[in-house]
A and B are shown apart, each in its own frame.
Chain A
Amino acid sequence: MELTDSVAVAQARAGDSGAFRVLVERHSRNLFRLAYRMTGHQEDAEDVVQETFLRAYRQLSKFDERASFGTWLYRIAANCSLDLIRVRKRRGEHQEAAPEEGAPDPIQSLPDGAPTPDRLAMSGEVERKVADVLDGLSAMERTAFVLRHYEGMCIEDIGRTLGVQPNAAKHSIFRAVQKLRRALEPLVTAS
């Protein structure tokens, strides 16, 4: 029978590394998805996943068993990503975001129209633009936006996760949306 998260956490706390392994194997892919959206780079996302589990392992005794383990991991991962983005920005790394290969095309998923050459050319441009704008956001803007937009976390929870007031989280999201609109609206309308 499959271990539930709460049973696995209890066993891991008691020193059962096999139980922690179950948690790692169960949550890694979702964490990678979140970390990739936060950082925009595969290697960074891998580092974040690793760091998240390490922090979680070390803080297992502080985990409140009434809470969801997955949500707790997400919070740790969000903060790890925030740390990493800040480091990258300070060093001026990853300024030119390259689009990742082998993934669905954002423009093609827009309603109406078969892919014409113009649309295909435009889709690559939009994809690059989205990645550029996300890379250009401040660490807080990007993290708050990803948590709201992709993860569906409410603003109050985002504030709690990132250790800021809900208003600050809300304004970070607004600023992110404004920057995205300024950059993308002409392209999206043209497509």
Chain B
Amino acid sequence: MNHLTEEQLVLYYYGEGDGSPSVREHLDGCEQCRAEYANLQRVLNVVDSLPVPERDATYGAQVWRRLQPDLRHKPARLFLWPARHWAAAAVAASLLVAAFLAGRYYPKAQPQQTANAGQVRERILLVAVGDHLERSQMVLVELVNARPGQPLDFASERERAGDLVAENRLYRQTALRTGDSRVASVLDELEPVLLDIAHSPGRLSPEQVEELRQRIEGDGILFKVRVLGSTVRHREEKTAPAAGQKTL
């Protein structure tokens, strides 16, 4: 007598069989398979009751509060940016980094002024890096969520990725100089992905979309960018001047 395979038992447990009565009939008549199936049930019942911490009724409102600042940066608006605005963003990034470094490495002011100026510089840089991560994320998301099995017109994202590569390099070098290893590390991982996208054809075949998607998902880069983006925004809020405090 041929006994049921583990695969058949698992499919039967989940109601995924082919619908024929053969497994049920076999179990009715075979003590060995019945015992095997009972063992499987016991194990999966234990797994089934693994505890999950509960969230109370206010959880949705908490999620919304955390989510709101991110929703202010509407992606649609970013994607509608004309190419010249993206180029301008890259130039602005260069100037910003240069200004940041100039301020950092040529301190001439009094200690109190230096502390304030340092905070302002840090905040400016955080805002810029946060924005850069946001725009990088948009490009990655567009690829990851492309319809499977269909070609993708990708010319504008490719162009944006080219601009982002230049910015990314600047921010990474700045982060390294300022000892912000976490930011530097994520930007270091992001750069080759952006480069790949920047060097891709304007119209991607389904295979090319899949290849890039796997690259992004395999590296987990989208998630890292997202998490770092949140962290940077959080740091940015912490360095924001309190109400009434004098700013530049």
Contact = CB atoms under 8 A, between A and B. Distances in A.
A20 B67 CA distance: 11
Contacts of A110: 42, 45-46
Interface string B182-225: 00000000000000000000000000000001000110101110
A107 interface: yes
Interface in A20-66: 20-21, 24-29, 32-33, 36-37, 42, 47, 49-51, 53-55, 57-59, 61-62
B135 to A, nearest CB: 12
Interface in B215-241: 217-218, 220, 222-224, 226-227, 230
Question: Which applies to chain B's interface (DSSP): helix, strand, loop or mixed?
Answer: helix
B6 A178 contact: yes
A71 interface: no
A83 interface: yes
Contacts of B54: 103
A24 B70 contact: no
B13 to A, nearest CB: 9
B51 A100 contact: yes
Contacts of B7: 174
A26 B59 CA distance: 10
B48 A149 contact: yes
B108 interface: no
B145 interface: yes
Question: Which applies to chain A's interface (DSSP): helix, strand, loop or mixed?
Answer: helix
A50 B63 contact: yes
Contacts of A61: 76
Interface string B2-43: 000011001000101000000000000000000000011011
Given A53-B63, A173-B10, A83 B217 contact: yes
How many chain A residues sit at the interface, stated as a range, is 35 or more
Interface string B85-113: 00000000000000000000000000000
A182 to B, nearest CB: 9
A36 B148 CA distance: 27
Nearest to A171: B7
Interface in B118-147: 138, 141, 144-145
Contact of B64 (A21, A58, A104, A163): A21
Contact of A107 (B46, B48, B59, B70): B46
Contact of A25 (B48, B64, B223): B64
Contacts of A127: 50-51
Given A29-B59, A185-B39, A126 B217 contact: no
B80 interface: no
Contacts of B10: 173-174, 177
A26 B60 contact: yes
Shortest 8 CB-CB contacts between residues of A and residues of B? A103-B51, A25-B60, A87-B220, A28-B60, A106-B49, A83-B223, A28-B63, A109-B49
Interface of A: 17, 20-21, 24-29, 32-33, 36-37, 42, 47, 49-51, 53-55, 57-59, 61-62, 79-80, 82-84, 86-87, 90, 99-100, 102-107, 109-110, 126-127, 130-131, 134, 148-150, 154-155, 163, 170, 173-174, 177-178, 180-181, 184-185, 188-189
21 contacts: A25-B64, A27-B60, A47-B227, A57-B71, A87-B224, A103-B53, A104-B49, A107-B46, A127-B50, A150-B48, A154-B16, A155-B16, A174-B6, A177-B40, A180-B44, A180-B47, A181-B43, A185-B39, A185-B43, A188-B46, A189-B39
